[in-house]
């Protein structure tokens, strides 16, 4: 089955230069969408990014609400009304909570939770005025499962997930759907940056009883494309009756009911 609803539509993506973000840009474009892809200026400068006439790259810091609004306005000028929005921008923190400073906490919350607020607010206002649209936020299974040395990150992702569900409730009568994809361990620089050696993947798959972390029942780490495909489904016509969902894509790692 081919997912539909993307041909000649405009999509707005944040965090588009990251592993999951690049996969999303490629899939959206392959599905026929025109993609306004955003990320930090430094991230855009160092990545090998997909380019063609249907993709425009634009620097954006999601901590700046005015910049978010301006970027979305630019997307509308270039490609027309935005009907698909994906917020994939985020940062990781592996600091124990007791060792975290106010600055550590504020940075993670401001980007992961605050960024979600600013981006989905802008998308929601635009789509509500158009009377249609779909928004997907890339969260984390850490938003629903306690993690050692990831308290700030987990809290920020939990806040983002509830924000999206509340926004989905507000926007449902206006024809706009809002959903979350919650990845587990995914083969991106964010994940591999936590590995000390070439056994990192094996340890993640096996789990670690001492740190109360389950393994991955499917026996493999997700690829960015695995996460992007799930997001693409939630954006598609085939998910037209799905909103306020929190879809865990983690190979069963959370043992979630």
Task: Write phi, then psi, for 160 (nearest 5 degrees).
Answer: -60, -40
Q: Which of 173, 84, 183 is nearest to 134 (CA)?
A: 84
Strand partners, 246: 180
Q: Helix or strand or coil: residue 49?
A: coil
Which position among 153, 157, 160, 228 bears the catalytic label? 153
Is 153 one of the annotated active-site residues of the chain?
Answer: yes
Instruction: Name residues whose C-beta falls within 8 Å of residue 171's C-beta, 6 or more positions apart in sequence.
Output: 124, 127, 128, 177, 178
> How is the beta sheet containing 246-249 ordered, strand by strand?
55-59, 34-39, 10-14, 82-87, 133-138, 176-183, 246-249
- Tell me which residues are annotated as active site: 153
């Amino acid at each position: 089955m081919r997912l539909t609803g993307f041909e000649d539509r405009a999509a707005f993506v944040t965090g588009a230069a990251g592993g999951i973000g690049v996969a999303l840009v490629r899939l959206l474009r392959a599905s026929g969408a025109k993609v306004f892809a955003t990320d930090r200026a430094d991230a855009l400068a160092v990545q090998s990014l997909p380019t063609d006439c249907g993709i425009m790259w634009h620097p954006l810091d999601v901590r700046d609400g005015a910049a978010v609004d301006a970027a979305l306005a630019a997307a509308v000028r270039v490609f027309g009304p935005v009907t698909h929005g994906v917020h994939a921008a985020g940062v990781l923190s592996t600091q124990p909570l007791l060792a975290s400073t106010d600055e550590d906490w504020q940075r993670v919350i401001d980007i992961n939770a605050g960024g979600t607020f600013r981006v989905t607010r802008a998308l929601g206002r635009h789509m509500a005025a158009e009377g249609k649209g779909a928004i997907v936020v890339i969260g984390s299974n850490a938003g629903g499962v306690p993690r050692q040395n990831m308290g700030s990150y987990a809290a920020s992702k939990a806040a983002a997930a509830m924000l999206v569900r509340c926004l989905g409730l507000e926007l449902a009568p206006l024809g706009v759907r809002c959903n979350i994809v919650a990845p587990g361990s995914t083969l991106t620089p964010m994940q591999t940056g936590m590995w000390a050696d070439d056994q990192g993947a094996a340890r993640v798959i096996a789990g670690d009883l001492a740190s109360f972390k389950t393994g991955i029942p499917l026996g493999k780490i997700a690829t960015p494309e695995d996460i992007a495909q799930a997001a693409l489904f939630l954006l598609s016509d085939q998910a037209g009756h799905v909103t306020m969902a929190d879809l865990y894509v983690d190979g069963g790692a959370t043992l979630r009911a």
